[in-house]
Structure 1
Amino acid sequence: MSFLDKTLQRYHDQKLRIEKFFIFTWKIDSKFVSLLEKWIPRVVIDMGVKTFNISLPSYNSIKSTHVDLPSVVFHAKSLEHLYLRGYKLNFIDNVHFERLQRLSLTRVYIAEETFEKIMSSCPLIAFLLLDRCEGLKIIKVNKHRNLKKFSFSHYMYGDSIEIDFSTYVETIKIVGNAKWYHQRKYFPHLKSLRLEHLQFHSLSFDILPCNFPNLRDLSIRHCYGLKQLQLLNHSIKHLTLNSIRDKSFKAAIDAPNIVKFDYCGSFPESISFAATTSSYRWKSNISVILGDDVDASSSWFLKLNKLLNAVSQSEISLCLYLYNRTKNQQIEDDPPPAEDTIFYGGGLYEYTVVVENLNLRFQRHSFSSLSAVINGLFRICRPRKIIGLNWFANAQKKWNRECNQVIEFLFEIFRKYVEELSLELFDEKEKEWHSVQSTNLLDQSAAAMGNNIQDRLQKLRVRLKWRLDTIIN
């Protein structure tokens, strides 16, 4: 603090201007507060600072722990960028932020009247970030024609915060408990929209040209209450649906210019893409979580087949999670399946979908469960590349034994139905894949990657060329 005091005094005596002023601290006491109270007025008024950034320690939603920001900051006409963390902004008389372009408030208590005064005095505001702030119930930024980017996050329980945007905004990110009244509004400039942990108050969300004519990126993650998504938009390039909570969720998508589609979660009721979705090859990343009862019913792979067929126009990367929620479940030793159990299921089921990349992640499941999953999986899709096997078990010794069982089972399938097979290992130093000159997976990879089987498998890529005349039954 003494060094800071002397340095600022020297700058002040020499009448130097400060372009940017940053202070970050995780510990604060009365002496430090006194130092700030002494120098903040001089920095923001006398020294004409343009970027002012102070981050103080903040605690879990306790209003009394915040430090009051000197009101002189609101009279700093030279300020262009203001970043505050851990302060308390109470009632103020006047605000002079004629040049302010960026405002970032993190873990700040701010009175609603103060927020309104600040926003009304910022005609040039282009970027606004509100992260875990307290004291606000309504956020109105609907008259700010220069506001291009808005980011909001709020994880507190209680009533939702209402947000009303300017129709000139280009990027919107809302994370947490908030209400956004977008119905019947026209956002001609909006290009990116991210909604996360949001409670939808309408069962349906429509992305139509009449509302969002220039929207390119749409991301909906971990949201609640959404039953239906209707997307009819020629400008959409990237679409992300992550951890959709409702199994009755439906999505109807018509996006002729889509480049990438990401889906993660359980099986939805339906996702459909229009036949004219894209005139060129686009990519889809599908991550599906299977529950505890995958080996009790064959319905899961019928649902997976439906989902893969919905994105069959694209280059598909599939990640399959087999997760057992019973943490302390004792995994029994299972004998290897009989010869005639490979691709079990009864009846003919001709595959229709090619998967470019397949990633398998298993956790605390017996060999019988895993073999059942692999059986069902290869009946509905043919992966060109298997990238990594991720397996988590309760004991390393048991893990190695079961891992070898699964590998032997996989290669038994490959010997029957694959025309060509090649192995590659990822070199961490060179950041490249290198061919392994044998299909003896464990022995050949041990020399390059040591005896940790799990580490080797995660860095393994298997290239497959399936026989064209094979029908699985």
Structure 2
Amino acid sequence: MPTVRRNSCEKIMGFEENVVKMQRDTVDRISELPEFILHTILSMLDTKEVCRACILSKRWYGAWSSVPVLDFQLRYFQKYGDYPGNCDDDTLKRFVGFVDKTMQRYSMHKYRITKMYLMLPKSAEKLVSLIDKWIMIAVQNQIQDFGIRVVGGFYYRLPEILFCAKSLKVLKCKFVKLPYYKTMELVSLEYLTLYLDTVDEDMLQRIISSSPLVELDIKRGYRLVNISLPWMEKGNGGDKCTTSGTMQSNHQESPLQKFVYTGLGHHMPWPWNMNIVALKNLRKLEFDFASITDDIVSELACGLVALESLALSQCFNLKCIKISSNSLKQLRIANELHFIEVTIDAPKLLEFSYNTEVETSLSLVRVPDHCNAQFLPLGSDPLTTVWLVELKKFLEETNFFKSLVIELPNPRKILVDEDILRNTGPPYKLSELKLCGIGAWNLGKFSVVGFLDALFRCCHPDVLSLTTSLQNPGSELILDILNILKRKVHCYTHPLRSIEVEGADCSSLLSKPSKFEMRFRLSWCQV
């Protein structure tokens, strides 16, 4: 074969091989995945987006029609900005038609439903029988995780069949009522979220007592006055709630591991009577806007022998609390505006987040040095140099916090006094300083320079974190701040020597509002 012809054949064969390789590389690998993996991918989307995904291929079309996670929310059918509780008849008709058609398909083919969320408008009062039918289909198809929320004043009463579902493990209810009936099974329910406004006390007692609850999340309510976290005595005389502090020999131990309560602050009395002896498995306890007192917090922290995590947020009745626990590993105290004194005795504490005023007296007893302690001070308005000096004094007196988080105000609310800064002493050594909310700054250069200079005279961080939102010119602000640090900001006793990029955290870019964080390692000159 002539050389020219042989070379031409080789080129043609090589071209064909490349074409075959390109075709092989463009194969839809995702569609070749097993169906349960496709279901996992689709379950991360809302139901309307899942429907749109069906146009990708025939395989996707078959997968979306049987995905076991259903998310029905009216807002997906409304115009942008419309209030979820209100909708016109046409929008409601399209929403109801979509939900009903989907549920009918799952009922006909007996597709399994593992998780379902349903958000209803107040106009759904006309659709009670239809909603009951949807829930019945979900129960028949082995529902495990069910959430329902009614927006706009209509309180839908849940059907009894839901409380007889043997597969149901998670139930999240918002602005709904429980069934009229006095008997419930709920033999598998492990996680429950309820709003007290719509709960009958006797019914709540029965649910908590008859279910193997691991997590209980109770939201604020106006009606309930006194509720006991029950652990039933099983005797010949029937079930009896025990609320005393001692446990009887025939006493049933509570399986509860997490209890979350969101109340109405000091406007309502504390409605719970908690038996700390029976709650020997409780590991996580959270109070938000709860009317608990100092004595209640101290008793629970000391008496709950398995407690590992405690969170107190906006509990305005607290004044002087003492937290003593041999099991506590995580502690969060947030926005306690009226604290006078806090005493912590926790030899196993690993994480501590403290969000309060710098005037609060904090005493630490048997707290390990390796505890990751983070202080989030409540800043004054405007933010003054005097406040920064008080912050430095608080850090030095406790000599415990390794991380400091400051929510930055508008530069116009920053007042810097050079005379006060001259005799502040050596800066406090920090592992990390986090400056949040820089997106709200318009970078009035003089205010920013003065504030950063004053801040670095009070503390020297090894790592500086800057957090901003994409809704603002965050990247430009970060660059401007870095230029300020490099050229203008200086600490007369320990000047900044160098800045190196430590890393970036973009994990919150998809959240609302989207945020990103840049971290820089700072090196300070030694005297």
For 1:449, the equivalent position in structure 2 comes to none
Question: Is the CA contact (8 Å cut-off) linking 2:176 and 2:198 kept in structure 1?
Answer: yes
| Bigger proportion of residues as strand | 1
> How much has 1:162 moved relative to structure 2?
0.7
- Is there any run of 5+ residues in structure 2 with no aligned partner, and where? 1-99, 233-253, 509-513
Q: What does 1:56-455 align with in structure 2 at a 5 Å threshold?
A: 57-60=149-152, 62=153, 65-74=154-163, 76=164, 78-81=166-169, 83=171, 85=173, 86-105=175-194, 109-120=198-209, 122=210, 124-131=212-219, 136-143=224-231, 145-154=254-263, 159-160=268-269, 162-167=271-276, 188-202=280-294, 205-206=297-298, 210-246=302-338, 248-274=339-365, 276-278=366-368, 280-295=369-384, 299-313=386-400, 316-323=402-409, 344-345=419-420, 348-351=423-426, 353-360=428-435, 363=441, 370=448, 372-388=450-466, 406-407=484-485, 410-413=488-491, 417-418=494-495, 420-424=497-501, 426=503
Query: Structure 1 residues 245, 289: closer, same or farther in 2, change over 3 A?
Result: closer
Unaligned residue ranges in structure 1 (runs of 5+):
170-186, 432-454
Residue 259 of structure 1 deviates from its aligned partner by 1.7
**1:108–1:133 CA contact under 8 A, matched in 2:** yes
1:19–1:48 Cα contact (<8 Å) kept: yes
Aligned AA (1:303): E
Mapped contact 2:357–2:377 kept (Cα < 8 A): yes
Q: Distance in 2 between matches of 1:357 and 1:344?
A: 27
Per-residue CA deviations over 1:9-38 (Å, capped at 9, x if unaligned) read 564xxxx9x674736254575785333445
Counterpart of 2:377 in structure 1: which amino acid? V
CA drift of 1:346 comes to 7.5
- Return the structure number with greater relative CO, CA threshold 8 A, min gap 6: 1
1:459 and 2:518 aligned: yes
Whole-angstrom CA distance in 2 between matches of 1:78 and 1:429 = 41
**C-alpha distance after superposition, 1:420-468 (max 9, x if no partner):** 413327467999xxxxxxxxxxxxxxxxxxxxxxx9x96361421331x
Distance 1:430 1:125 in 2: 32
Q: What residue identity is the alignment partner of 2:274?
A: F
What number of residue pairs does the alignment pair up? 394
User: Given the superposition, is the C-alpha separation of residues 277 and 37 from structure 1 closer, same or farther in structure 2, using an over 3 Å criterion?
Assistant: closer
Deviation track 1:180-221 (CA, whole Å, cap 9, x = no partner) reads xxxxxxx54432222222234448842687524443222222
Q: CA deviation at 1:373?
A: 4.0
In the alignment, is residue 34 of structure 1 matched against residue 129 of structure 2? yes
The match for 2:144 is: 51
CA root-mean-square deviation: 4.7
* Inter-partner Cα distance in structure 1 for 2:334 and 2:502: 30
Change (3 A) 1:89 1:161: farther
Q: Is the 8 A contact 2:327 2:346 kept in 1?
A: yes
Give the share of equivalent positions with the same residue, in percent: 17
Change in 2 beyond 3 A, CA 1:84/1:204: closer
TM-score for the superposition, normalised by structure 2: 0.60
Q: Which amino acid counterpart does residue 5 of structure 1 have in structure 2?
A: Q
Which amino acid in the other structure matches residue 245 of structure 1? L
Q: Which amino acid aligns with 1:257?
A: K
For residue 157 of structure 2, what is the amino acid of its counterpart?
D
Amino acid at match of 1:70: P
Structure whose residues are more often helix by fraction: 2
Give the partner amino acid of 2:465. I
Find the residue that maps to 2:374 and give its secondary structure.
strand
Question: Partner of 1:256: helix, strand, or coil?
Answer: coil
- Distance (whole Å) between structure 1 residues aligned to residue 212 and residue 467 of structure 2: 52
Work out whether residues 203 and 228 of structure 1, in 8 Å CA contact, stay in contact via their aligned partners in 2: no
The change in CA–CA distance for 1:250 and 1:26 in structure 2 (over 3 A counts) is same
Q: What SS does the aligned partner of 2:392 have?
A: helix
CA distance in 2, matches of 1:312, 1:197: 30
Q: Does the Cα contact within 8 Å between 2:284 and 2:309 map onto a contact in 1?
A: yes
